[in-house]
Amino acid sequence: MKESNTKDIFLEFDRAQKLSGLVTGASLLITIIGVYLIPAEEVLRTQILIVIALVAMFSGIYYNSPKLYLNPKFRFLPDIAFLTAGAFSVLSSGHYGPFFLIFLFLIITIDAYIFSLKEYVVVVIASLILINVGSIFIWKTNPGLAFIILIQSFSLIGLAIVSRLFAGYSLKVREQKEALEKLNKQILRDKRESLDLLDSIGDGILSINGDGKIYLHNKSSVDLLGIKNLEGKNLNEVFNLYSRDKLPVDILKGITDSSPLIRTDLYYKKGRQWLRFYVHLNPLFADGALIGLIILFRDITKEKQMDEQNTEFVAVASHEMRTPLAQIEGFLFLAMKQLEEVRDISPETKNNIEMAHNSAINLINLTNDILTVFKLDSNKMEVVLKQVKLSDIIGGVISNYEKDVAKKNLKIHYKNQCKNESKIITDESKLTQILSNLVQNAIKFTERGSVEIVLKEDNKSFIIKVSDTGYGIDHSALKHVFERFYRPENWETRKTQGTGLGLYIVKNLVERLSGEIAVESARDIGSTFTLTLPKEYKNSDDLKKASEEELKNFIGTF
């Protein structure tokens, strides 16, 4: 659209210039004819023609050098030239003076695009007065000649007005053209700069138009794809992506709205080599229709390989650590048991073994926590859905901690405020882990009083509150308790042990189960952790994974 518009303007510009030239030429011709038609006895015709030629030469040079006519400093140059010529001609040509005045008037009119409208009106009026006054003088000696001059003058003024209009338009257009050319140069320079910038980026960039063709690409995209002539090619000709199983993937299918699509699981075959790509797809929409795409891609083959090696290393290392750790703990436990029966042994030795045993348990917990965090962070935590009764799970967790509660002389209460059976589809072992962590923490940080678990429900969710009457958490620390390795400074001094991962794991597990967790606490009054689980499990991927048979069982039990 824009392009055709500029073309029209330039066409008009040409036409206006040609027309101005024509009008000037016609004026000259009429004047010359007039000079020859009307008998000139007093003055030599050649004299008149020399003046015309001089003015024509000046006009020719002046109007063809934009440096002169576009420079406001020289705007009065033609006026001075024409007025000088006019004065000379009137003085020298006697009865033919008015012809020159007409001619000069026309030239000045052509020059009108230098004038403002106000100046133009002044010139027109002045010329009319001069012509009429000149005619009156001639009328006295030769009435017929004066009449011809008047007719000619007015018709020429008419022509001149038309030419003035075109000439004025022509200047405007000329200015526009110059401005456009300047802008065009600027744009080209800017484009070059942006292209240089795009080329210096290591990621491949492809810009696709609405027809699916590449209209812009950078150097890296050529290097990454290994295809030289990308411009104008169809995207699906050159940008073929595959899944891990080497099945073709149509990435465009994933686009439904203007939100960008990011995939890191796709492969590209470059020659014989399979490259893992990071692909960022930015769709461009206008009025609800896809009008283009910006694709940014990167070769992440090496990074992913290293990532996988690290992942494997952590998995293997922690797996290999489990057996020896279990044995250390087990043998220390056995030693402790055996020492219980030995009488003549110092309590210090017993204590030492007990300390070693505690440390072994801590190390086991830390290993397990790290493994869990690793699984959560690398998205390897699988969810196994099953229908369970919340009250059963809570009961089970409480019974596990009864001994610990008794050891610290605390009490543990459980209140079930649900009207119906608390049946829910969730992952039993993960929920158990969440509740165990919360109850364990409650016991750990409470010296006097009790731990209370309340099960409630509303329309949409089950709510489990785990409260204690312990130390509580400082207000400033509250928002950090779910962060990795976060431990308030003063906790350590209270001889509590832990990895600082427990609540981070809890939060992540809760989120994995589509639930929410919140904490309230007051210093020396206690803490309450509120776990909210939706009655309807939200993650559709997990639901799909749960086998159909199991799903049938859930439905059957409702």
Partner 1 sequence: MAKKEKILVVDDDKGLCQLYKLTMEQEGYEVFTANQGEEGLSRALEIKPDLILLDIMMPMIHGLNVLDILKATPETKDLKVIVLSALSDEETKNKAREFGASDYIVKSQSTMAEVIGRVADILNA
Contact residues: partner 1, CB under 8 A: 319, 321-323, 325-327, 329-331, 333-334, 337-338, 361, 364, 367-368, 371, 382, 384, 429
Question: Residue 140, Cβ neighbours under 10 Å: how many?
Answer: 8
Q: In the bound complex, what is the minimum distance in angstroms from residue 318's beta carbon to partner 1?
A: 10
Q: In the bound complex, what is the minimum distance in angstroms from residue 220's beta carbon to partner 1?
A: 41
Q: In the bound complex, what is the minimum distance in angstroms from residue 212's beta carbon to partner 1?
A: 43
Q: Which amino acid is present at 541?
A: D
| Smaller CB separation from partner 1, 174 or 386 | 386
Three-state SS for 520?
A: strand
Strands 411-416 and 289-299: unpaired
| Smaller CB separation from partner 1, 375 or 487 | 375
Q: Tell how many helices (H) and how many strands (E) occur in the chain.
A: 18, 14
| Smaller CB separation from partner 1, 427 or 452 | 427
Q: How far apart are CA 264 and CA 298, in angstroms?
A: 9
Q: In the bound complex, what is the minimum distance in angstroms from residue 321's beta carbon to partner 1?
A: 8
In sequence order, what are the residues at sequence separation of 6 or more whose Cβ sits closer than 8 angstroms to the Cβ of residue 54? 85
Please report how the helices 2-37 and 143-199 are oriented relative to each other, as an axis angle in degrees rounded to 10.
160
> Cα 400 to the chain's mean position, in Å?
53
| Smaller CB separation from partner 1, 71 or 338 | 338
Please report how the helices 77-93 and 45-64 are oriented relative to each other, as an axis angle in degrees rounded to 10.
180
Instruction: Specify whether the CB–CB gap between 451 and 413 falls below 8 A.
Output: yes
| Smaller CB separation from partner 1, 269 or 319 | 319
Tell me which H or E stretch contains 291. Answer: strand 289-299
Instruction: Specify whether the CB–CB gap between 122 and 73 falls below 8 A.
Output: no
CA-CA distances (angstroms) from residue 247 to 251, 268, 412, 450, 470? Answer: 12, 11, 56, 59, 57
| Smaller CB separation from partner 1, 200 or 311 | 311
Three-state SS for 56?
A: helix
Q: In the bound complex, what is the minimum distance in angstroms from residue 436's beta carbon to partner 1?
A: 11
Among candidates 121, 82, 81, which has minimal Cα distance to 102?
Answer: 82
Q: In the bound complex, what is the minimum distance in angstroms from residue 340's beta carbon to partner 1?
A: 9
Q: In the bound complex, what is the minimum distance in angstroms from residue 537's beta carbon to partner 1?
A: 16
| Smaller CB separation from partner 1, 299 or 369 | 369
Q: In the bound complex, what is the minimum distance in angstroms from residue 334's beta carbon to partner 1?
A: 5
| Smaller CB separation from partner 1, 95 or 357 | 357
DSSP 234: B
C-alpha triplet 510, 516, 517: angle, nearest 5°: 85
Q: In the bound complex, what is the minimum distance in angstroms from residue 455's beta carbon to partner 1?
A: 25
Q: In the bound complex, what is the minimum distance in angstroms from residue 332's beta carbon to partner 1?
A: 8
Counting Cβ atoms within 10 Å, is residue 351 exposed (0-12), middle (13-18) or buried (19+)? exposed
Q: How far apart are CA 512 and CA 380, in angstroms?
A: 11
| Smaller CB separation from partner 1, 243 or 352 | 352
| Smaller CB separation from partner 1, 46 or 323 | 323
Q: How far apart are CA 371 and CA 314, in angstroms?
A: 8
DSSP 42: S
